[in-house]
Amino acid sequence: MSKMESENIYYEGRIKVPYKWYVGETGSRFFIALRDKKEIWGIRCPRCRKVYVPPVKNCWECFIPTKEWVRLKDTGTLESFTVVHYPNEVIPKKPPVVYGLIKIDGADGSLLHFVGDIDISELKTGMRVRAVFADERAGNILDIKHFAPIP
Amino acid sequence: MEKIAIVGVGQTTYEKSKEDTFAEIVFEAATLALSDAGGDIGDIDNVVTVSNDFWDGRTISSMAVMDAAGSWDKDISTVEGDGIFGALYGMMRSLSGSFNTTLVVAHVKGSEGKMNLITNAMFDPIYQRGLGIDATSSAALQARCYMEASGAIEEDFALVSVKNHRNAINNPYSQLPMEITVEDVMKSKKIAEPLKLLDCSPISDGAAAIILTNESGLKRFKKDPVWIRGVGHCSDSYTLGYRDLANPRALKDAAYKAYKMAGIKDPMKELDAVELYDAYSYMEPLWYEGLGLAPEGKGPDLIKSGATNMNSDLPVNPSGGVISAHPVMVAGLARLIEAVLQIRSEADKRQVKGAKTALAHGINGPCGQAHGVFIVGI
């Protein structure tokens, strides 16, 4: 046999496994309120009084169950933002895409979501925003379309 | 407490795309560490592999490299996280008394998957993943939080990129040795504002390995030991939005524990070299604050002062850091290896003269959710 030929061979595949996550009793209540009433609900820790949104089953700091549901406003403050310039298969929008951390009024932390209906040059931390709900809602986080500046 | 030494280190070069399989790079790093230690695979009592299934495109990725890691007929266990946590687990195994010697080997081939899709999968599938957030876009949110809290500007972060890419010129293992300017960074392509291309680490292929031993196992190896003087680790909240992204309190806790164990009171004075996880430029000044090298909000002043440059008070990332080569899973272990090379005075052109105490740092999870800190010395 003559000299063995050399070439790098690649095997191309794709991992695609359907998966169905149960969002939990707490998550279900949160999403039902978004879907059916366009309402944002959080949950309060009975000890430290911290309000979580999305709601959680137990306070992370106090490590005790949370039970008290709190209806929150659909307004909040933009704590941080980024303008993403690259597209990819998991971003359900075309670039530029704006992500924000939105501190909903009455909550103790921020919600990660999109910021929309805005001229990118006008983005600023501390700006006031309001939730814009999707016309067709399916009981998931995209039932909020994005947060838009309050004029 | 019994002491643990690092007696062998090995790393492949870090490259954009290596023409080797996972098994080949694991074998290369493991055998390099063994020959560095002056031992062979028979001297190893147990093996810890470090890998991630999504990055490897399969489940139980660890088992696919066990033969290449020399663990056929040995006890093998796995860490799914940064290599610094692999080193931590390996140290605990040697401390446990069940094993004297431990080989820790980490690998990744970033070139074979898609970073944005893989890191998107680390976020909560119900509330965050569907938005398409990933390692870079979440880091951008953290960068802005830090700018707000500290008053840092993008040019401050650019200094990290300039310093570390320049340091990488002295490191033959690094992927992106470059002489660049602040202006180059500022003019580079916008990725996720405020982060630009040259604020972001590349995606790399590579593997790294270390050999750990307790005092009983030390005689099996020819190499002089480098001792683990202190170690600490801590995690913060998983959920972006419920963590103060501008205050790395988990790192503060990890560093405090490591310093206490090592008897370090003033890290800026007592450390000779630091290798930290600068996956994005802004992380370096933020981690300075977490490591107690700068007061809160003053990380940007430290990078601007030049005190962390080579041949200055405390060189940070003499290797070029993670921004110059980012093999995910491996990068924290590479930091530890670099720290060991500094202590041995084997770091060639990137050697910090007379280094006696060095710090290595690794992170895990979005925006540095978990931190591991090692202090090594003679």
**What are A91-109's pLDDT values in tens digits?**
999 999 999 999 999 999 9
**With a cut of 70, which residues of chain B have pLDDT below it?**
1
Question: Is residue A107 classed as helix, strand or coil in its secondary structure?
Answer: coil
Domain containing B93 equals 4-114+203-220
In what side-by-side order are the strands of the sheet with B370-377?
B75-79, B46-50, B101-109, B205-214, B4-11, B226-235, B370-377, B357-364, B273-275
How many angstroms from the chain centroid is the CA of residue A62? Answer: 24
B241 assigned to some structural domain: no
Quick one: pLDDT at residue B63?
A: 87
pLDDT confidence of residue B300: 98
DSSP code of residue A120: G
Question: What is the residue-wise DSSP string for A25-47?
Answer: HHHHHHHHHHHHH--EEEEE-TT
pLDDT digits (tens, 9 = 90+) for B187-233: 999 999 999 999 999 999 999 999 999 999 999 999 999 999 999 99
CATH of residue B102: 3.40.47.10
B-chain CB neighbours of A91 within 8 Å are: 131-132
Note whether residue B228 is domain-resident.
no
Domains held by chain B: number: 1
Instruction: Spell out the domain ranges in chain A.
Output: 24-149
Q: How many CB atoms neighbour CB B76 within 10 A?
A: 18
Cis peptide before A96 (omega within 30 of 0): yes
* Complex confidence, ipTM: 0.95
Q: Which residues of chain A have pLDDT under 70?
A: 1-2
Report the pLDDT value the prediction gives residue B1, as an integer from 0 to 100.
67
Interface of A with B in 4-63 (CB under 8 A): 8, 13, 15, 19, 21, 23, 27, 52, 54, 60
Top residue of B18, B59, B142, B144 to mutate, by most chain A CBs within 10 Å, is B144
Contact A90 B134 (CB under 8 A): yes
Instruction: Give the model's pLDDT for residue B347.
Output: 98
Residue-wise pLDDT for B322-356, tens only, equals: 999 999 999 999 999 999 999 999 999 999 999 99
Query: What is the model's pLDDT at position A5?
Result: 79
pTM of the model: 0.97
Q: Say yes or no for a CB contact (<8 Å) between B126 and A113.
A: no
Q: How far apart are CA B304 and CA A119, in angstroms?
A: 33
pLDDT digits (tens, 9 = 90+) for B283-307: 999 999 999 999 999 999 999 999 9
Note the pLDDT of residue A2: 62
Tell which of A23, A53, A82, A97 to mutate to test the B interface (max B CBs under 10 Å): A82
> How far apart are alpha carbons B42 and B101 in whole angstroms?
10
